[in-house]
Amino acid sequence: MKGTHRLAIRGVVLVYLAILIGLPVVFLVVKAFQHGFGPFWSQITQPEALSALLLSVEVAAIAVPVNAIVGVGAAILIARHNFLGKRAFDTTFDIPVAVSPVILGVALVLAYSRIGWFGAPLARVGIMVLFSPLGITLATMAVSLPYVLRSIVPVLLEVGTEQEQAARTLGAGRLRSFFQVTLPSIRWAVMYGITLTIARTLGEFGAVLVVSGNISGRTQTLPIYIYDDWDQKFDVLGSYSDALILALMSVLVLGILAVLRKRERKLRVDLA
Amino acid sequence: MATALDTQMPAPSRSSSRGPSGWRRLRSKLALPLLAGGGGALIVGYLSLIVLIPIAALVSHGFSLSVTTHGAGIEFWRWSVSIGWKTFWSAVTATGAKQAIILSLWLSLSVAAINAVMGVAIAWVLVRDNFFGKGLLEASIDLPFALPTIVAGVVLLAIYGVDSPIHVDLFETWMGLMLALLFVTLPFSVRAVQPVLASLDLESEAAARTLGAGGLRTFFTVILPSLWPAILGGFGLAFARAVGEFGSISLIAGGIGRTTTASYYIYNLTQGFLWTGAAAVSTALLLISLIILVTTNVLSRRFQKRTL
Amino acid sequence: MSISLSHLTKHYGKTHAVEDVSVEITHNSLTAILGPSGSGKSTLLKLISGLESPDTGTVTIDGEDMTHVDPRHRDIGFCFQNYAPFRHMNVAKNVAFGLKVRKRSSSEIETRVKELLALVRLEDKAKSFPSQLSGGERQRMALARALAIEPRVLLLDEPFGALDAVVRQELRQWVKELHAQMPVTTVLVTHDQQEAMEVADQLIVMRAGSVVQAGHPLALYESPATNFVHEFLGPSTMFLGEVTRPHDLELVSVYDGTAKGRIASIVSLGFEAQVTVELSDGTTTWVQLSRNELSKLGLRVALLVGVRRRADADF
């Protein structure tokens, strides 16, 4: 490829990425610290911000393990077994990701809140879905559903069943074989999926926004707090500061993912 | 052989490892199907709870589905199902809704197209080019994917917003919306194409060159055809993502008028407690996305058959 | 421990992988199941191991009916074609796995693992991971792992298929020596007839799911039951309508041969030569000669020669 062509393409790409990603990120940092470190710090340590962060973490603490376990179980079913309706089963996991989070939020409200199908019976038992952490948790579990599953299935298929067969001939039962052979052989993929899930649960916005109602002073996760700061209170510094925190978390997540990818590759050295 | 193993193998207590009694044998035979079936049932229950039932409720409300029972409840053949087509249709064709849907569609199509082109260019640079700082580039591609969408909105408005340091204010403009959508869909377009490009057979390109083809011709006749399925796949993913995008849009979109996307419109309906309308427009959007997804899947598969 | 297979059948949908196979494997023998790919040999091995269940028939090990017994309880050692190492465990832990399942004490495990690693000459790789080993080393580890549980039967599924020629040779010899030292009823599946001939004292030839012939390797080589066995076990050529070994033919003067023809080509392979002869009846046959014979006869292409069976040929 000609030298000038190469430079031209490189140039176009660099300019595009600078406009789209580079400059905005730089200016986020600039804006967050535009009044110095002090105001930045006080913004992120405001009690409302901290309780929003706490709620985000609590919701993640439920959503991530549940989706991890479901992901592992479903992955084994999909990769190792054949059953009627497997294709539909597999596709269902992709629905929350293919659909707008706002639509998911509306769907959850129409299913479980008082104006929806099960709202009345649920309310009688004292379960409130709309405007509550329960609803937020449900929404978060839905949007972060398939990441663990999708990370694991290709690895399960690639690793194959020979190691488990070997374990069987050596006397291992199903449980031992699962915990000592199957799970370790996919552990980096599981970590990868869990990391993606964590990032997704901490960052979820649209579905949670719909489910948590529009009362100011509503139950807020951190993303909603950022939105309210900007949209309702016009407190841009607050938004910039907390957005930076979440952005840093994303960068951390990317770093972890890169490390996990390398570890996985080391294990996967061609064993032919 | 270096070392002779002491061949005095002690007779181990084999009795414990021989065939177990009939009951234990039966139990271990049943264990797997029971576990798989039970686990599967639990998972299906979970899926129903958070995905299937809500979507069903959404579509049912969207079409104002109502089931009336005549006579005793169990005799379902006496039930009549009524679908509120009129309500659905009026909600979907209300001016605001129509505008919003059309805006979302053409925005998403354009964004998917732009990033399809840029995706190939970026993948090219990442795979075939080398320069200082390329690693940083590689890592930054995933940033829009890992970043919470609301943060993406804040990030973009930091420089392109109302108090823009470079005096480019894209607040409440369709350019701003487009920028946000380009941002969030970029990783899909790039990562769809990159691995395919990386695994391309360099030899067929070399062959083309020995036969006299120049760089551009080689690209269009040898490389591009093999990339089509991946490009189409990336287009489909980017489009679906763009249609549904909300977080980054929510800060840029304007209330009424030319900058309300479909998702923002639905959100506004929910703020006004107009749930049936929200359900109707949501259902319409779902159907449109489904059609586009199926189309791109079919097209990409057809292209796949043509390539080796 | 002797193995007795009786009327084993295994179908996968329309594929008849194993069809009515009955075979006896003697105690402490090294038996090779030989056949082309698709002949059902791997399936047969899996049936013996219990990793697959037969549709009909029985598997009897040492007098006990094991047909429906889980592989866990059959006391067999199994080596896979791609070694199936536990990638996340180091070599020592891999070998120790079966012993841990059997709840042996850690000191006992440690001693035994050391013994086995010394046996397979991997002592200095105890802490290495499978991804750091070569193919041959991985296979030796797999063997050590299988032997650790003192199995009564050792099953090897094309254990040397993925290795290069030199390593394959070495391991082949080594397995033979190991078996001589530590006799365990061993069954080896392979498609390499040279390997089977070198290593086994009992040979079972399979084709399309059935056993074609079974017995001592030399017996099969010298008295093949069918043309397939003849051709599979060694070089063969057609001479006067019969399948014959090329080294059982010799070249003589036109008048002394049972058939005559012209030499079409002479290929010298260093230690031996292959001479192709176009016979007068239109067929082509080839004869294998030693280097000495070749130089003595002074052959050249297009020469008229006679071909006949050697007097000392085995029929």
User: Which range, A206-215, B212-221, B283-292, has the best average confidence (pLDDT)?
Assistant: B283-292
pLDDT (mean) for B146-168: 86
- Contacting C residues, span 98-157, partner chain B, CB-CB under 8 Å: 102, 115-116, 118-119, 121, 150
Say if residue B170's pLDDT is above 60. yes
Q: How far apart are CA C77 and CA A168, in angstroms?
A: 10
Residues of C in contact with A156 (CB under 8 A): none
What residues does C305 pair with on adjacent strands?
A: C261
C110 forms beta bridges with none
Structure tokens at C260: 């005559």
Residue B79 has pLDDT above 90, yes or no: no
Contact (CB<8Å) A231/B251: yes
Q: Distance (Å, rounded) from C-alpha C103 to C-alpha C98? A: 9
Residue of B nearest to A94 (CA): B51
* Mean pLDDT score of chain B: 81
Tokens (6 digits) for A2: 């000609």
Say yes or no for a CB contact (<8 Å) between C82 and A267.
Answer: no
Helix ranges (DSSP H) in C30-149: 41-49, 91-101, 106-119, 135-148
Residue B228: burial class (beta carbons within 10 Å; 0-12, 13-18, 19+): middle
DSSP annotation of C72: G
pLDDT at A47: 86
DSSP annotation of C124: G
Residue A193 has pLDDT above 90, yes or no: yes
- Residue of C73, C121, C181 with shortest CB distance to B4: C181
CA distance A13 to B92: 40
pLDDT at A2 over 80: no
Banded pLDDT at B77 (limits 50, 70, 90): low
3-state secondary structure of C6: strand
pLDDT at B9: 39
User: Tokens 């590759």 sit at which residue?
Assistant: A265
According to DSSP, residue B258 is labeled: T
Name which of C66, C73, C119 is nearest B17 (Cβ-Cβ): C73
Structure tokens, C62: 């040492």
Q: Which residue in B3, B9, B12 is closest to C119 by CB distance?
A: B3
Position C113 scores a pLDDT of 94
Contact, A93 vs A146, CB < 8 A?
A: yes
**C286-315 tens-digit pLDDT:** 888 888 888 888 888 888 888 888 887 654
- pLDDT number for residue B28: 61
**B7-11, B83-87, B274-278 — which one is most confidently predicted on average?**
B274-278
Q: Best of A158, A159, A170 to disrupt the C interface by mutation (most C CBs within 10 Å)?
A: A170
pLDDT at B73: 57
Return the closest-CA partner of residue B149 out of A224, A55, A251, A193: A224
Residue B191 has a pLDDT of 92
Residue pLDDT, tens place only, C82-114: 889 998 899 999 999 999 999 989 999 999 999
At A170 the three-state DSSP class reads coil
User: Residue A96, Cα to own-chain centre: how many angstroms?
Assistant: 12
Q: Which of A109-123, B54-68, B89-103, B205-219 comes out lowest in average pLDDT?
A: B205-219
The top-scoring range by mean pLDDT among B294-298, C90-94, C161-165, C226-230 is C90-94
Is the pLDDT at A269 greater than 70? The verdict is no
Of B210, B206, B202, B207, nearest to B226 by C-alpha is: B202
φ, ψ of residue B115 to 5 degrees: the values are: -70, -20
> Would you state the pLDDT for residue A141?
95
Contact call for A30 and B129, based on CB within 8 A = no
Strand, coil or helix: what is B193?
A: helix
Put simply, whether C1 touches B (Cβ < 8 Å) is: no
Q: What is the predicted pLDDT for the residue at A114?
A: 82
The pLDDT value given to residue B180: 93
Q: What is the pLDDT of residues A109-134, one digit of tens each?
A: 999 888 888 888 887 787 777 778 88
Chains touching C (at least 3 CB pairs under 8 A) are A, B
Contact between A141 and B50 under an 8 Å Cβ cutoff? The reply is: yes
Does C149 touch chain A if contact means CB atoms closer than 8 Å?
yes
**For chain A, what is the mean pLDDT?**
87
Chain C contact for B32 (CB, 8 A cutoff): no
Q: What is the pLDDT of residues A30-86, one digit of tens each?
A: 888 888 888 888 888 888 888 889 999 999 999 999 999 999 999 999 998 888 888
Tell me if residue C205 falls in helix, strand or coil.
strand
B19 contacts C69? CB cut-off 8 A: yes
A5–B125 C-beta distance less than 8 A: no
Which residue in chain A is spatially nearest to B162 when comparing CA positions?
Answer: A236
Is the Cα torsion angle B291, B296, B302, B304 positive or negative in sign? Answer: negative
Q: Please check whether residue B159 touches A, CB under 8 A.
A: yes
Nearest Cα to C131, choosing from A158, A187, A177, A272? Answer: A272
- For residue C139 the two structure tokens come to 């296979």
Cα gap C284→C278, rounded to integer Å: 5
Give B223 or C25, the one with higher predicted confidence: C25
Residues 168-207 of B with CB under 8 A from A: 179, 182-183, 186
* pLDDT over 90, % of chain B: 29
Could you give the CA distance from residue A76 to residue B2 in angstroms, rounded to a whole number? 44
Tell whether the model's pLDDT for residue A268 goes beyond 80. Answer: no
Closest CA to A68 of A177, A183, A155: A183
Residues of C in contact with A171 (CB under 8 A): 72-73, 98, 101-102, 149
Strand partners, C263: C277
Residue A163 sits at the chain C interface (C-beta within 8 Å): yes
Contact C74, C46 (CB under 8 A): no
Look at C181 and B3 and tell me if their CB atoms are within 8 Å.
no
Touching B: A residues 33-62, CB under 8 Å:
none
Give the best-scoring range by mean pLDDT among A134-138, A211-215, B223-227. A134-138
Rounded Cα gap, residues B134 and C221, in angstroms: 64
User: What average pLDDT does this structure show over A154-174?
Assistant: 90
**Looking at residue B17, what is its pLDDT?**
42
| pLDDT of C270 above 90 | no
Residue C135 has which token pair? 């193919």
pLDDT of res. B55: 93
Three-class SS of residue B79? Answer: strand
Paired with C31 in beta bridges are C187, C202
In whole angstroms, give the CA distance from residue C113 to residue B62: 67
For the cut 90, the answer to whether the pLDDT of residue A101 exceeds it is yes
Query: Going by C-beta distance under 8 Å and a sequence separation of 6 or more, which residues neighbour residue B170?
Result: B156, B160, B161, B176, B179, B252
List C-alpha distances in Å: C272 to C239, C247, C251, C252, C293. Answer: 20, 10, 14, 17, 9
Report whether pLDDT(A237) > 90: no
- Smallest CA-to-CA distance from B256 within B244, B248, B264 is with B264
pLDDT at position A147 is 93
**Is C60 in contact with C9 (CB distance < 8 Å)?**
no
- Give CA–CA dist C267/A34, Å, rounded: 86
Q: Which residue of A has its CA nearest to C137?
A: A271
Amino acid B12: pLDDT: 41
Whether the predicted pLDDT of A140 surpasses 90? yes
A–C CB contacts, 8 A cutoff, strictly below? 74
Contact assignment for A272 to C162 by CB distance below 8 Å: yes
Which pLDDT band holds residue A1 (cuts at 50, 70, 90)? low
In the predicted structure, residue B24 carries a pLDDT above the cut 80:
no
Strand (E) or helix (H) holding B116: helix B95-128
Q: For residue B203, give Cα distances in angstroms to A8, B207, C220.
A: 25, 6, 48
Cα Dmax for chain B? 91
The one-letter code for the residue type at A244 is L
Contact C206, C10 (CB under 8 A): no
- Residue B63, sorted as left (phi over 0), alpha (psi -120 to 50) or beta, turns out to be alpha
Determine the residue among C70, C73, C111, C153 to mutate to test chain B binding: the one whose Cβ has the most chain B Cβ atoms within 10 Å.
C73
Q: How confident is the model at residue B27 (pLDDT cuts 50, 70, 90)?
A: low
**Residue C173 to chain B, least CA–CA distance (Å):** 11
C-alpha R_g of chain B: 29
d(CA A105, CA A135): 9
Query: Is the CB of A147 inside 8 Å of chain B's CB atoms?
Result: no
Cβ contact, residue pair C182, B5, below 8 Å? yes
State how far the Cα of C32 lies from the Cα of C197, in Å rounded to an integer: 8
Q: Contacts of residue B289 in chain A, CB cutoff 8 Å?
A: 98-99
CB A85 within 8 A of CB A134: no
Tell me which residue in B53, B124, B154 faces A239 most closely, judged by beta carbons: B154
Q: Give the pLDDT score at B25.
A: 60
Chain B hits for C178, CB-CB cut-off 8 Å, are 1
Query: Measured at the alpha carbon of residue C243, what is the angle toward residues C239 and C249, in degrees to the nearest 5?
Result: 50
Paired with C204 in beta bridges are C33, C214
Query: How far off is chain A from C76, nearest CA to CA, in Å?
Result: 6
Test C88 with A173 for CB contact under 8 angstroms: no
Lowest mean pLDDT among A133-142, C22-31, C158-167: C158-167
Flag whether the pTM goes above 0.90.
no
* Cβ atoms B262, A90 nearer than 8 A: no
Where do the H-state alpha helices sit in C38-90? 41-49
What was the pLDDT predicted at B282?
93
- If you average pLDDT over residues C62-90, what whole number do you get? 90
Contacts of A188 in chain C (CB under 8 A): none
Whether B131 sits inside 8 A of A10 (CB atoms) is yes
Q: Please give the pLDDT value at position A64.
A: 96
> Is the CB of residue B68 less than 8 Å away from at least one CB of chain C?
no
